[in-house]
Amino acid sequence: MVRWQRGLWLFFLPSFGLLAVVLLWPLGYAIYLSFFDYYLGSDVRSFVGLGNYADLLTEGRLWNSMWTTILIAFGSVALEFIVGFALALALYRLHQSAKVFSVLLFLPHIVTPVVAALFLKWMLASNWGFIDATLLTFDIVPPDWLGDPIWAKISVILADAWVFTPLVMMVLYAALQGLDTSVVEAAQIDGANNWRVLRHIIVPALIPAIIFTISVRLMDVFRFFDIIYVLTGGGPGTATETITIYTYQLGFRMLEVGKASALGVITLIVVASLLLTINRVLNSIYRGGDQ
């Protein structure tokens, strides 16, 4: 670094000092705790090595929550991506009125997640919720949206999609606006139909944005907490219990902080490897498309 700018390293101190204290230290502490059998409130904590990890990995509840997480993750991300992409294309097509629509469509995303979850809860609540009240008017007996194990999962996926589709839409719409319109027009003049323009021109140009949205969404979905917490609390039973909800139950309800930390570490490893894989796969597709 150039001599006269060396003082700039000092500029990192406040921020990185802060991060060390409030992020790295707690993180290290969590990893440390994960090796202990430690019930918060009791005075004893005994070192168990990888015991917590072994317990967790051999118990059904972890795997159940893992599958639930994966189901919800892929279900909602797929839904968000398809609907979000369609919406982005529709906005791109409209030009003039797109601005009004984009604001209206974006509203669900900016609402406080807890509040959004409540809005949905009042839609889905049995009997008096909007959907049930409407269906019952026509004498259709609705399913128990939040009480039936399968419907509860679907409801959670829909809720996630309701909140995050606007994000996917916005990012893809922004990427579309960055497209060189002359290329699209040239293809249309050459007689390519909409589908071909989409497949051969628009999608390849959007690959970086697509990689970005999908990885960010998958990463977020593993942190997905507030909406499930409010909507189903993980229930009925453990039907919608994701890893995050399970960790919450372990750590803050049962106060098994050692075991909960171990679960947190496992989550981190899963998320990291998942993201690495996705990035690698999508990147190789991206490069393949280039040639």
Partner 1 sequence: MSVASIQRKRRRETYLVFIALCAFTFVNLMPLIWAVLTSLKDPKDAFTIPPTIIFEPTLKYHWEVWFENDFVRYLKNSLIISAGTVCISIPAGSLAAYALSRIPRRNAGPILSALFTIRMFPHMLLAIPFFVMGTFLDLIDSYLLLILALVAINQPFTIWLMHGFFLEIPRDLDEAAAIDGCSSWQAFRIVILPLARPGMTVAALFSLLLSYNEFLFALVLTGTNTKTLPVAIASFGGEDITAWSLSAAGAIGIMLPIVLVMLALQRHLVRGLTAGAVKG
Partner 2 sequence: MASLTIQHATKSFGGLEVLHGVDIQIADGEFVVLVGPSGCGKSTLLRLIAGLEDITQGEILIGDREVSHLHPKDRDIAMVFQSYALYPHMTVEENMGFSLRMRDVNLSERKDKVRASAEILGLTNLLGRYPRQLSGGQRQRVAMGRAIVRDPKVFLFDEPLSNLDAKLRVQMRSEIRELHKKLGTTIVYVTHDQIEAMTMADTIVVMRDGYVEQIGSPLDLYDRPANIFVGSFIGSPAMNMLEGRIGGDRQSFVSNRGTQIAFGAPVSPEADRKVILGIRPEDIGVSETGTPAMVRQVEPTGADLHVNLDLDGDGFTALFHERLPLEEGQNMGLKVLADQAHFFDPDSGKRIE
Query: Residue 75 Cβ, how far from partner 1 at the closest point, in Å?
Result: 18
18 contact choice in partner 1, partner 2, none (CB below 5 to 8 Å, kind-dependent): partner 1
Q: Of the candidates 107, 183, 186, 281, which one interacts with partner 1 according to CB under 8 A?
A: 107
In this complex, which beta carbon is closest to partner 1, that of residue 194 or of residue 277?
194
> Among residues 91, 131, 84, which one has the least CA distance to residue 109?
84
In this complex, which beta carbon is closest to partner 1, that of residue 16 or of residue 74?
16
User: Interacting stretch for partner 1, rule CB under 8 A, among 47-55, 57-65, 117-125, 140-148?
Assistant: 117-125
Query: Residue 4 Cβ, how far from partner 2 at the closest point, in Å?
Result: 5
Cα separation, 141 vs 256, whole angstroms:
42
**Quick check: 4 binds partner 2 (CB under 8 A)?**
yes
User: Interacting stretch for partner 1, rule CB under 8 A, among 47-55, 60-68, 71-79, 243-251?
Assistant: 243-251
User: Interacting stretch for partner 2, rule CB under 8 A, among 2-10, 106-114, 136-144, 191-199?
Assistant: 2-10
**Quick check: 150 binds partner 2 (CB under 8 A)?**
no
Burial bucket for residue 225 (CB in 10 Å: 0-12, 13-18, 19+) = middle
Contacts of 117 (CB under 8 A, 6+ apart): 159, 226, 227, 229, 230, 231
Q: Where are the alpha helices (DSSP H) in the chain?
A: 8-19, 25-33, 51-58, 60-94, 98-110, 113-124, 130-137, 149-177, 181-189, 194-197, 203-221, 226-231, 243-248, 257-290
Interaction site with partner 2 (CB under 8 A): 2-4
